[in-house]
Structure formats: C-alpha cells, structure tokens
Structure 1
Amino acid sequence: MNFAEKYLSIRKHTEQLCGPLQTEDYVVQPVADVSPPKWHLGHTTWFFETFILKPFSSNYQIYNEDYNFVFNSYYETVGNRVIRTDRGNLSRPSVSDIYQYRSYVDEAMVKFLSNEIKDDVNELLVLGFNHEQQHQELLLTDIKYILGNNPLFPVYSEFKSEILNLPSAAQKLLNIQAGVYEIGFNGDGFCFDNELNRHKVYLNDFAISSSLVSNHDFIEFIADGGYSNFNFWHAEGWDWVKSNHIKAPMYWHKIDGKWFNYTLQGLKPVNDEHSVTHISYYEAYAYASWKGMRLPTEFEWEIAAKHFNWGERWEWTESAYLPYPGFSKAPGAIGEYNGKFMVNQKVLRGASIATPEAHSRITYRNFFHPHLRWQYTGIRLAK
C-alpha cells in the first residue's frame, strides 16, 4: 500500500465511524473532555492542511482562513483557537461544510502524494496517519459518551462488539523474576516521542494477573461496600467518589435490582464474564487495594505483556506519566504533541476495542488524568 492509498484508507475509516450518526449527533459536547464528532472530522483535516500542505505543497490554497482558529486543538505555536469547552457551541461550520473541507484537503493530499516525498515530510505524514488513528479512538468513545448520556440510550450499531473474543485462559498469577530489563521502543517503525529513549530499569520479583478484572469481580467489590469504605481509596479518590456520588463504573445503571450498562449496542444487562471497563484510576486503585494487591507499573506491564493477551482495555498502571531518560521535544508545533502533558497524569498500557487496527504496540504509552473513565479503561492486578 503506497502513501496515497494508506492516507485514503485511514481517512475513509474515520468517516465510516460516523456512518451511524444523525446530523444532530455531530454537534453535541456533553462535557469538556468529549469533543463533537464534527470537530474531530475538521481537526484531523486541519492537521494535514497545516503541517503538510501549507508548508510543502506549492500553490496550495487554504480552504478557509478561519478554520485554523476553529480546528487547532492545543498547538500554541500555530496560533489562537476556540477553547476546548466551547467546541460544542459551534453550529457553524456545518457538518456538510466540514465534509466538503475533508474532500478538498483529500484531493490536494492525493495530488501531493503522487510526487516524490522527502524524508522530513515522510515523518510528518506518518505522524499524521497516527494522529488521525488516535482521533478515531477518541471519536468512537466520544460518540459513546454522547449517546450514552442520552436518556433514550440510542443504539450506535447492533454489530459493534465491546469485547475481542480473545482465546480464553485460566486466570492465574504470572511470576516474573527480578532483573535488569530494557524498556521503550526498539525498531525501525513508527513510535511516538514519549516511547523513546530505550533504557534499562531494575525490577524486583513480581507477579501479574494473566487476565483482566471481570464485571463479576467488580460487582463483588460493589456489593462489599467498595464505594463506601474510605480505607481502599486515595484521599483524592475518596473526595472524587463523594463529590460525584460515584457508585459504579461509568454507564452502569441499577434497574429493578439488576445491573445494566450502556454499550454501543444500546442498554444491556451487565455480562459477568466481560472485562470491566470505563474505570477511573481511582477505582482501579481502590479495587486492587480491596483485593490486597496493586496495579502494575508501566515497566512491569511492558516486560510481562508478552505472557498474556492484551488489547481489549487500556490498562491503568501505577506509573506517573513522565519523560524517559534523554527525552527531548522536537522544535516547533510537533514538539507540543506529548511532552507538555507530562504532569499529573497516569500511564495506561495496551489498547482497547476502539483502537484502530495496526495502531497498538507493546511500548505504546497512553495517558490520562486519574478521574477520567470515558475511554475503554480496565484493570489488571499485580503483587
């Protein structure tokens, strides 16, 4: 697959994710962390226009000068922008306008990609592919939040499963011996800058579960008063529980004494065997504490991951999101991609059912604030 084919394939998948939506669904922003679907469509297009076409395609005519203000996300280098909380207030540009914008940029990109691509542009292009794939995951989880907070619980798709049907294996603890291990990306393919540089860490003996925590396991925690016993929680997590009246994972509803959860297929009874998801770090820590165990560090996870199935849920770790030794930010706007977020966040490892194909690897470092749970986040225990 050449660059043009790869580009069009990724762009098509983004639009396919929006296929089940009604026009009104494209505009909604229920909370600050969720962006309207039409904004994702525009922002990913703006990325290619701003970082590929404008600097490298001769005679390219910008589609609309105002779109830089509308679709810039957090790149201070590129200029002012609509603040994140106001993305849902933009009735214009319309959904139709944004699809026309995508077509315009796609046509220009395909023409641009028909020429020889220099190495520096090649790197930006691959970054653009991965950037859009990141937004595909955000897009799907944002759509779920939008629909899941509609009192009618509308179905996104009857065919979109939230499990991977990975080969079943008996739950057990895998023992990993103490030693010096190498952590971080190693190879010639793409990785984000936060996966560099590869370095050595010393790990003590540890054990890690071969399976994720299930809904059945988590229901036991709830039934045992897990959300009402401060002993299992960090002080900050306990404040979060009380302030927000948290009693169960996101999307769970107790109806006539039984647990239901909103899924992409609509409101369904909670399946005991499925991996629990939409869990905050606070909840993951509390559950581990209740079990007399802990969460793995990201380094333990990376070393052990080849011994278990992963990829169904983003897995909370006990590691703060920090730079690896020797980390340096790239100059200009691209340097704003990861480095400036390395504070007050926790690392998650793995992938989820919303992660696009070929966009996961064992060294991938996702990161979120401890209270967030709208992504497909889950729990793996260690000790």
Structure 2
Amino acid sequence: MSRPTRTPVQDQDPGPPGVPPSPSDPVDSLIRDFLRVRRASTGLCSTLEPEDFVLQSMPDASPAKWHLAHTTWFFEEFILSAVDPGYRTFHPRFSFLFNSYYNAVGERIPRPRRGLLSRPTVREALAYRESIDERMVVLLRSADPSQVERFAPLVVLGLNHEQQHQELLLTDLKHALWHNPLRPAFRDRPAGPAVDAAPRRWISYPEGVRWIGHGGDGFAFDNEGPRHRQFVEAFRVASRPATSGEFLEFIADGGYDRPDHWLSDGWAAVQQHGWRAPLYWERGDDGWSTFTLAGMRPVDPAEPACHVSYYEADAFARWSGCRLLTEAEWETAADVAVSGNFADDERFHPAPPAGGPENEPAQVFGDVWEWTASAYLPYPGFRPAKGAVGEYNGKFMCNQHVLRGGSCATPRSHIRPTYRNFFYPDARWQFSGVRLAQVG
C-alpha cells in the first residue's frame, strides 16, 4: 500500500473552518477549508504502516482507518445523500460500518468490533475519502447560492467533527501503540532542553455575574449555548496546570494508597484498575518514565501532569488543599489569547510552561485538557438540533464531566474559550490534566 503524501499539519489548517482568511468568494473559502481539514487527517496518518490502521486497543478507542472512513461517511450521509434524492452511495454497507452513534440513521457495527474490520482495506478507505472529497467539491461548485447557504452550516459542522476525530485518532493510536511491548514511536521528536517549571502563583477573580457560553459570530457546537448569565463567587486560580513533578510528590506521599483524598467512586476505580500513577507512567530502576507518541521518555517534572482521570484530578486537588475549577470559573479565567502547544506544532506531548503576563494564567489553551468540577449538563434554554445531527451532543449529557482548553493533540483553529469537551470520570487516555483552584 502506498502511504498518503505527508503534508505538515500547520500547512493544512491556518484558520477556523468556515472563516475565510481574506475577503473572497464564500464558496471558494468553504472549499479551501474543506480540503485543508480533510488533508490534515490523512497527513496525520502519513507515517503509519498498514498494520497500524486497524488497531483497536479498547472499546472506547477506534482504529485509524475507521476514523478516516467515519468522517467521510458524515459528509456522504448528511450532505451528499440529503441534497440529492437520487444519490448513489459509494458502498451500500458503509453506513452500517462507519455510522458511530446516530440511531436515527440506522443500525451499525458494535463499537468494540471496529478493530475486526480488515475490509475495506486501507487503500479502499482512502479511495472512499478521495471519491467523497471530489463529490463534495463538485457539489459546492455546482449548487446555486441559496442551496449552498442552506447546507454550508452542515459542511462546517462536518469539518469541526473531523477535527475532533483528528484528536481522537492521535489519542487512540497512542493507546494502541502503548500496548505493544516494543513501545514504537508514532513520530520522532528530539528531546528538548531541561527546564524548571515556573513557581505556582495564584490569580484572583472577584465575585460577579458572568456571561457564559458562545454568543458571537463563528462556529460553535450546540452544547456551547445558549449564552447565559451566571453568578460566580470570588475564586483564585493557579497560574499554570499542575506539573508531573507535583504529581510525583502526590504519589510519594501515598496518594494512591490513602482513601481519604478520594471520592467513593474514585477509590473504587483505583482498587478495580490498580492505578498507581497516571496512565502511561512506568517505574523502573532509573525512576519514572512515560510513553509518548515519540516513544518512551523519562517523566519531565516541569511538564503538565497528563493522562489523569477526573477522579485522580479531584484527589490530587484535595491532597493539595485545593479544588477543581467549575467550568464557569474556568471560562472566566480564560479571557486570554488562544495560543499554546497544539497539534499544529507536531510535538504531540505537553510542554513545560513558557513565560507569560504576570496577571494571566498560563497554558490555558493547548497542552492538556483541564478537568473541571462541573457535570456535563445542558445550559439554560438548550435545545438539540432537529434530526439525526441533534444526537451529536445532547444525548450524552449524563454522568460525564466537562474539560476545557484543548490539548497538544487539538488543532489550534478548533478551540475557543467556550468549547465544552466531556468524558466519563474514569477516562484517562485523553491528554487530560488539572489546574487547581481555591476560594477567593
């Protein structure tokens, strides 16, 4: 199998999908956005061997080939098929194979069995992508302006959906490669110079009524609105995420052995799964090391602690004499420029904190998703969209917790202060960390 031609991620996604880089024809801008995001996905896979594309290490993860095909199916199902009543699908069974959770669309292969799909082959999956890309470009160029205006929001949703899967592709591959005793690298990355973490400072915010949620121009997922007012008590936030060095202190102090720091469900998870450290950490004669997408590396005490569950984040906060931020507090503190270590930088691992303004929290965006104390629930007045796309977010608003800020695996243009990610509290395979908070 010939690999897809590699194009660096930073060359693929210079701006938010749906927002033109300069005044131009809106259809041309949409086509450029579409091709940039689509090529970024195959670019991420450029160093993979055919055997890598079918790995599925757990039910929560999916094979790279499935991610490539599923994001393609989204455009075929919700746009091409919807616009043209006489549309002939690329393959009559691909909807069953590559539908994720859209009950309104039809039956689908059980999620834990996605790794059993040796067919279609990787070559066929890439041919599927190329065919749908060509059909989408033809549709965008040939449709009348009123028709484009009608389905353009779905195209933008599909592009943001694909960017979510670009991140999942990276996290799922990391989990799969970690299970290989050879600990293979996804991408080589030279080790950077050793640096010390900046001392933790506290930044205070007064009480007040805040506007929370998305309310401006540009794309946002439905769960980011409606924008609403919320009273926030005075609070203090740590100037940076908790570091691996601080988490080593938590471990050394018996953090995983003392139930007094843990929620009941969290302590049960520690016992059930045998957690003794963050995911991917291994202890050897020379100390702690961790698996990264560049292979095994010594744990760097200056880097943000990563791959911890909500339970671990909460226990660490309690051990520290602190707590986690609510998502309203987090969004209040996130009134800073969106910059940081993202997938575009191709480090694919959290970086030690860089310098920044004294009165602003650092590393708010990128590096690690930050667990909040907030359950994933609808905002006041939330209503899911009609039809199958309404299943995108709303039906998951139960038993999960909100994370904010993006990670080193998130495309830069995909994140914004109002973005609400969500996972179950025992999830650890995402690039998830913790920022401490205190009462103001």
TM-score (ref. length: structure 2)? 0.84
Q: Please tell me whether the aligned partners of residues 38 and 98 of structure 1 are also in contact (alpha carbons under 8 angstroms).
A: yes
5+ residue gaps, structure 1 = none
| 1:159 equivalent among 177, 182, 189 | 189
Q: CA offset at residue 88 of structure 1?
A: 0.8
- Say if 2:430 is the partner of 1:375: yes
Match of 1:98 in 2: 125
Match of 1:108 in 2: 135
Match of 2:160 in 1: 130
**C-alpha separation between the residues in 1 aligned to 2:135 and 2:401?**
39
Match of 1:340 in 2: 395
Q: CA offset at residue 170 of structure 1?
A: 4.5
| 1:203 equivalent among 232, 236, 260 | 232
Which deviates more from structure 2 when the two are superposed, residues 108-117 or residues 373-382? 108-117
Match of 1:3 in 2: 30
**Letter of the structure 2 residue corresponding to residue 69 of structure 1:** F
Match of 2:200 in 1: 171
- Say if 2:198 is the partner of 1:182: no
Match of 1:246 in 2: 275
1:139-159 per-residue CA deviation (whole Å, 9 max, x = no partner) reads 011111111111110011113
- Say if 2:412 is the partner of 1:357: yes
Match of 2:325 in 1: 296
Q: CA offset at residue 57 of structure 1?
A: 4.0
**Letter of the structure 2 residue corresponding to residue 308 of structure 1:** P
Evaluate the alpha carbon distance shift between residue 160 and residue 377 of structure 1 in structure 2; reply closer, same or farther with a 3 A threshold: farther
Q: Please tell me whether the aligned partners of residues 140 and 148 of structure 2 are also in contact (alpha carbons under 8 angstroms).
A: no
Q: Please tell me whether the aligned partners of residues 23 and 95 of structure 1 are also in contact (alpha carbons under 8 angstroms).
A: yes
Q: Please tell me whether the aligned partners of residues 156 and 264 of structure 1 are also in contact (alpha carbons under 8 angstroms).
A: yes
**C-alpha separation between the residues in 2 aligned to 1:244 and 1:13?**
35
**C-alpha separation between the residues in 2 aligned to 1:178 and 1:296?**
14
Q: CA offset at residue 312 of structure 1?
A: 1.5
- Say if 2:284 is the partner of 1:284: no
**C-alpha separation between the residues in 2 aligned to 1:104 and 1:199?**
43
Q: How does 1:20-169 map to 2 (within 5 A)?
A: 20-57=47-84, 60-115=87-142, 116=145, 117-159=147-189
**C-alpha separation between the residues in 1 aligned to 2:91 and 2:190?**
35
RMSD: 1.8
Q: How does 1:253-272 map to 2 (within 5 A)?
A: 253-272=282-301
| 1:222 equivalent among 217, 226, 251 | 251
**C-alpha separation between the residues in 1 aligned to 2:270 and 2:102?**
33
Structure 1 vs Structure 2: percent identity of aligned residues?
49
1:209-246 per-residue CA deviation (whole Å, 9 max, x = no partner) reads 01000010000000000000000000100010011110
Q: Please tell me whether the aligned partners of residues 345 and 368 of structure 1 are also in contact (alpha carbons under 8 angstroms).
A: yes
SS state at 1:315 partner: strand
Match of 1:328 in 2: 383
**Letter of the structure 1 residue corresponding to residue 161 of structure 2:** H
**C-alpha separation between the residues in 2 aligned to 1:197 and 1:276?**
32
Q: Please tell me whether the aligned partners of residues 160 and 264 of structure 1 are also in contact (alpha carbons under 8 angstroms).
A: no
**C-alpha separation between the residues in 2 aligned to 1:169 and 1:52?**
48
SS state at 2:437 partner: coil
**C-alpha separation between the residues in 2 aligned to 1:120 and 1:110?**
16
Q: Runs in 1 of length 4+ with deviation above 3 angstroms?
A: 57-60
1:49-87 per-residue CA deviation (whole Å, 9 max, x = no partner) reads 001111114753210010000000000010000011111
**C-alpha separation between the residues in 2 aligned to 1:272 and 1:355?**
23
**Letter of the structure 1 residue corresponding to residue 120 of structure 2:** P
Evaluate the alpha carbon distance shift between residue 216 and residue 17 of structure 1 in structure 2; reply closer, same or farther with a 3 A threshold: same
**C-alpha separation between the residues in 2 aligned to 1:66 and 1:114?**
28
**Letter of the structure 1 residue corresponding to residue 368 of structure 2:** R
Q: Please tell me whether the aligned partners of residues 57 and 112 of structure 1 are also in contact (alpha carbons under 8 angstroms).
A: no
Q: CA offset at residue 295 of structure 1?
A: 0.2
Q: CA offset at residue 188 of structure 1?
A: 1.1
SS state at 1:63 partner: coil
Number of corresponding residues: 381
1:222-278 per-residue CA deviation (whole Å, 9 max, x = no partner) reads 000000000000010001001111000000001115000001110011111111100
SS state at 1:272 partner: coil
Match of 1:316 in 2: 371
Q: CA offset at residue 95 of structure 1?
A: 0.9
Q: CA offset at residue 118 of structure 1?
A: 2.8
**C-alpha separation between the residues in 2 aligned to 1:243 and 1:313?**
26
Match of 2:7 in 1: none
- Say if 2:334 is the partner of 1:305: yes
Q: CA offset at residue 6 of structure 1?
A: 1.1
SS state at 2:118 partner: coil
